[in-house]
Each structure stands twice: as structure tokens, then as C-alpha cells.
Structure 1
């Protein structure tokens, strides 16, 4: 049996929709019938070559690290709690199992493998997953929304609640209100950060930021930008700023808006160099630049619970659905920002 899958050859720089064998689950694995798979800017960067797999498992890989569906087949050595028909979303990666942390059963893994990057993901009709990467989802949560939790929602959650240490009643800024940034705004609002300043060159994205809970939304090209941020924060500056765009110019601008002891968190991925023009000011004011990737163990489950209890609404996050066969068109739409999407979803 064969199935349709979106296959990337990172070395050759090619992406094609191909017929490939339907995978069989090995020990400790299940096979998922994919119902929804998100299209992320990281997928775009993998296709254009600006990102490369850190731990490639073969010449080609099926893209897609945001995946939800139903268990189709259960392999050997899988706990009885997982049965065919169960509705699940898949963690966006898993432990390597061989680094010193893994062999000593410690956190964190030093070489996390990412689904749809280092091993086959969910831009396909079926996907395999180890049972410990499965997260049950309630019937009330549509597959399209569940699929994006393991990255588009959990990555900003990890940055906001973890790395950036956002606090209730303290000012925070978000640069780039796309797939990650829109959820960062929503999650900052949930945590009680105030005021929330959103920054994006697109008017539509600024409007979306206000809808998602930002108190202010500014154009980074506004000549009065710095003064407006200071006014919004009572003249103090931001406690924490999040670069969700992965743009070098964003980082320099964000650093200038930070209060003393402020933190800049780099979430958006880019191969561009990180440059700090005035490192004296960074030292004197005690500023920090922090890298962030992914989320912590248990974050996806926590976010699913927040949706279950009505605290987190992801219905506005799905900008559109497209058939799996039209994955190349979805990639172009995200690249060109056609319709300014938050998340486009592929449906096999």
C-alpha cells in the first residue's frame, strides 16, 4: 500500500508530493491516520534551505511537525491505554535516547529530534509515532485546532511562561503577530501581563493583535515608535520582549525598548547573525538575550486542558484548510503572506 506524502530532500533542495509506502508501526509505536497537519514558517525555511535538519535520519523526510489524527494501528509493546480510534495530537519531537541526560533519565534531552525535520512527520495520509509522544484530545477540540498546539501554541507558551518569565501586571512586547506571535499575545493576556505591546508592519496583523488581547499595536517603521512604547509602559520600557519573527532588525529595535534587567527572547528562527551594536548599554542596564526552542514536557497536555476548560480559544487561529495534495500551494501562500494567515492546515 502507498500513500501521498510531502517529501523534502534537504541536500538537493527539493520538495515534492510523492507516493510512498504506508509506514508500519514498530515496537512502542502506533500508526496515526492523519486528520490535520499545520503549515509552519519553519517548514517554509526547511524548503528554502535556510534551515537544515540537525539530525537527519535519511536522504528524504516527510515534513510536518504539527499533527493530529486517530490511532489506526497499535504496534507491539504499546500500553493498553492507547487503542485504535483514539483521538490524539503528537508532540513535535522526542528525546534522542542516547545523550548523557537521556541515559540517566534526566531532563532536558541534549539532542531532541524534531518530527518532520529529523524524522518523518505528518504531511501524509498516515504517520507513525512512539506512544510517549501521544497526547489525548477531547471530542470537543477539532483536529485542526489540536494539530497546532504542539508548536504554534506550545512554543510561545514555553517562551512566555518559561524562558521569558512574563509576570502578571508587567509589560511585555511581541514582535511579529503571525503563527507564533498571535498565540504569544493570547497567552500573555491569559497570564495577566500588562500592558501587552504588539509590533508588526502589517496593519491586518496589528488589528489581529488587538483582537487577541494586545493593549497596543504599533508599526515598527513609525518614527515615533520608541516614544510610543515608553508612553505605553509609563516611561519604564518593557520587562520582556519576544522576537517571534526571526528578523535581525527586530532584535536591535526590541533591545532598545527594554527596561533595566529586561529580557529579549529569541523565538523566531533565522540563520542571520545576532548583532548587538552597543554592548556597553546591554551590560550597564543588565539586559539579557535568551534563546528559546520548543516547549517543556507536559506543556502540550496543559494547553489541551486549557482548551478543555474554556480558558484558551483556538478557533480564530485556523486561517484556512487545504487538501494535502495542495501542500506546495499552502507553502507559497505562507511565504507570500497571502491573506496574512495565522495557520493553514493540510487535510489528507
Structure 2
């Protein structure tokens, strides 16, 4: 077995800590990847604070990139030395959803909070967040969980492509299909929300209205491409209508994952407009909407799972845009940290500070 340092949380609400973990041997169809960078995503925090309820002990982390160091028998997708981004929802390509053009809803690849893989040094079986457990020096994953990226792509950017950028960009391009000239509202300016802002502006949307509870996010919003910034308040609906000729936004993207912000997005969207929920919330946080309002407003409410994307094709395309300078991610990383600094990054995230923190190995 290979012994590596990893960030482990023992139970819900416990403080994550760096611990040694034994990885399993690389089996047929599997690869071992040395992680070079891993982004701190709100989904990781949700597995610590009880929003999600995975099994424990749990190795956190799922937004990552690294270099392949070993391949198992029968692997044809990658080779030793390849630079790869990790895919936390790999498609099987065989189930009904995959064969009907919705690989992001794959019966086998999507929605698993954690899988067992390896053990702690004291012998306890360890689980991996979203099947990856990427806050670790190395991981062992199925070959369909790696996607090749260019060798000249910065590791931090490669990591973010696998979650924040793909999720936000896909929500705009694939789920909502924002057209040039459409007005867009984005609630919540973490890594995903800022990626939505960038994609909306690239799609030709105007205005692009960015909203956050923290006024300090204004500079980040503008760097991402927002035309307007609004601090979240009870007057949000009227603020948005003031910026959209009195109608409300054509498209609203909720990137927080809370019933209150979903309702706020709904109220700030014009009649006949679209509300896209990108944030992942609690099972017991129920959204209440008036039956009459649903009928009379003619709005559409939907979610965007992993950007309604096929990572196998879209991650390489996004990577090419970054390398070519057509897509800038400079504004997304506000802190580069070590593995032991992740709990402090969670605290910043909970306070609404910064964009993405990235662990650099």
C-alpha cells in the first residue's frame, strides 16, 4: 500500500485534521494520481457542517488536478505522466441517462456522497468525498474519473475546471442557454457564482447583476465581468427591476443553496423568465412558493447538476480556452494554501470572504 497525508474529518461537526491514510493497490481499470492542486469547494464544507451526511471517517476534497503516476491493467484512457483534472461524477456511458444524452445524471457516477476506499493508519476504513477524496497527496480512482488537460495549464486552473468553472459555465451555456442581450442575475459569489458571472458576460448577457451579502465581493464581481453589483437586502427585487427596465431578470442563477435565496431569485425574475438553482442545499430546507404565483408568473424553476455538462469533452475545451487566453481565471483564486490550512479556508468561506482557496501540493 501507499501511505499519504490527507485531510480527514472523523464525524459531522468535527474539525478536519491532516492524518496518514493507506491507499489501496491500483486495480484493473484504476489509476493513481499525485495531486498537485485542489480547490476548497463549499460542498466540502457541507460534508463537515452537516448539510450533507456522508459516512465517516471521510477524506475531503473533490476539485483537483494532478499527474498520473501508476495505471492498472486494461487502462486505455491515460498514461503515466499525463496531466489530468479529476471528474467527481464520471459517466458509465451505459445507463439510460448516459445513452439519452444526460451523462451528468448517470445512475452510477453522480450523486454519491462518498465511497469506501483505503483505510486510516489505525485500521478504520476511510471514505472519499464524492468518490475522490482529493485533499490528499495521492488518490486511486477509476480511469473514467480523470480527464486529460494540457501540460502548460497551471495546476490551480486545472483543478478549478473540474468543479467551479465547469459547473458555473455549464449552468449558463447548457442549462439556461443564455442568449446575447439577456439580463442575468447571479446570487452568491463564491467560485461557482463568479464562474456564472464570467460565462454570462461571455455569452453577451447585459446587464449582468452580481449579488452577495458581502460588499467586499464587489471588486471580484467586476473582475469576473459583472456590469452591476448589489448587496443582498430585502429590497433586492426592486433593485433588480430598477436595472432591468422594471421587468426583472430574464435569467436568475442561485449559487448559494438555500430556500431563502431561491425565493429571492424567483421574486427578482421577470414573468416568463428562468430561475436556475446551482447551489446544493439541505434536504430539510424547503422552498415554499404560492401556487397562484407559479401559475401567473409563468417562470421556470430548474436545477443545474454539474453544469448539465459532459466533463470528458467540456473540461478539455475549457482548458484550451484558458491556455489560449480566451478565458481568464485570475480572479477566482484568492488564496493558495497548504493542506493543513483548509479549516481556516472553511472559516473564510463561511464568512463570505474571497473566492477560491486552492491547496497547492
RMSD: 2.4
| Structure 1 gap segments, 5+ residues each | none
Q: 1:48-67 maps to which residues of 2 (within 5 A)?
A: 48-53=49-54, 59-67=56-64
SS in 2 for 1:315: coil
Q: Is the 8 A contact 2:237 2:248 kept in 1?
A: no
2:238 to 227, 235, 257: 227
String of CA shifts for 1:88-120, please: whole Å, max 9, x gaps: 111122236885556x68743134246742424
Q: Structure 1, residues 167-189: CA drift from partner, whole Å, max 9, x if none? A: 11111100011121111101111
Question: Given the alignment, which residue of 274, 282, 300 partners 2:294?
Answer: 282
- The whole-number CA distance in structure 2 between the counterparts of 1:288 and 1:243 is 13
Task: Give the CA deviation at 1:10.
Answer: 5.1
Q: What corresponds to 1:8 in structure 2?
A: 9
Alignment of 1:164-243 (within 5 A): 164-221=176-233, 223=235, 225-243=236-254
Kept in 2, the 8 Å contact 1:8–1:60? The answer is: yes
Matching residue within 323, 328, 331 for 1:316 = 331
Contact 1:322 1:346 in 2 (8 A): yes
**Does structure 1 residue 346 correspond to structure 2 residue 341?**
no
Task: Write the distance in 1 (CA, Å) between the matches of 2:90 and 2:14.
Answer: 25
Please list every run of 5 or more consecutive structure 2 residues that lacks an aligned counterpart in the other structure. 115-127
> Offset at 1:232?
1.4
1:307 alignment partner in structure 2: 322
Cα distance in 2 for residues equivalent to 1:286 and 1:106: 27
Secondary structure of the corresponding residue to residue 135 of structure 1:
strand
Match of 1:78 in 2: 75
Q: Aligned residue for 2:174?
A: 162
1:18-37, aligned counterparts within 5 Å? 18-37=19-38
Is the deviation greater in 244-253 or in 170-179?
244-253
Partners of 2:12 and 2:246 lie apart in 1 by 50
| Counterpart-to-counterpart distance in 2, 1:45 and 1:343 | 15
User: Partner of 1:209: helix, strand, or coil?
Assistant: helix
- CA drift of 1:252 comes to 1.9
Aligned to 2:133: 121
Distance in 2 separating the partners of 1:110 and 1:217: 39
1:68 matches 2:41: no
SS for the counterpart of 2:16 is: strand
Deviation at 1:162, TM superposition (A): 1.7
Change (3 A) 1:106 1:317: closer
Which stretch shifts more, 93-102 or 283-292?
Answer: 93-102
Q: CA deviation at 1:201?
A: 1.9
**Normalising to structure 1: TM-score of the pair?**
0.89
Q: Does 1:327 align with 2:332?
A: no
Distance 1:202 1:168 in 2: 29
1:138-176 residue CA offsets vs partner (Å, 9 max, x unmatched): 233210111011111111122111222211111110001
Paired with 1:11 and 1:245, the residues of 2 have a C-alpha distance of 21
Q: Is the 8 A contact 1:93 1:114 kept in 2?
A: no
Question: Per-residue deviation at 1:209?
Answer: 1.0
Alpha-carbon distance, 1:70 to partner: 0.8
Correspondent of 1:130 among 142, 161, 164: 142
Q: Which of residues 152, 157, 164 is equivalent to 2:164?
A: 152
Q: How far is 1:319 from its partner? A: 1.1
Q: TM-score, normalised by structure 2?
A: 0.86
Is the 1:23–1:31 contact (alpha carbons within 8 Å) kept by the matching residues of 2?
no
Q: Does the Cα contact within 8 Å between 1:73 and 1:84 map onto a contact in 2? A: yes
CA distance 1:287–1:325, change in 2 (3 Å): same
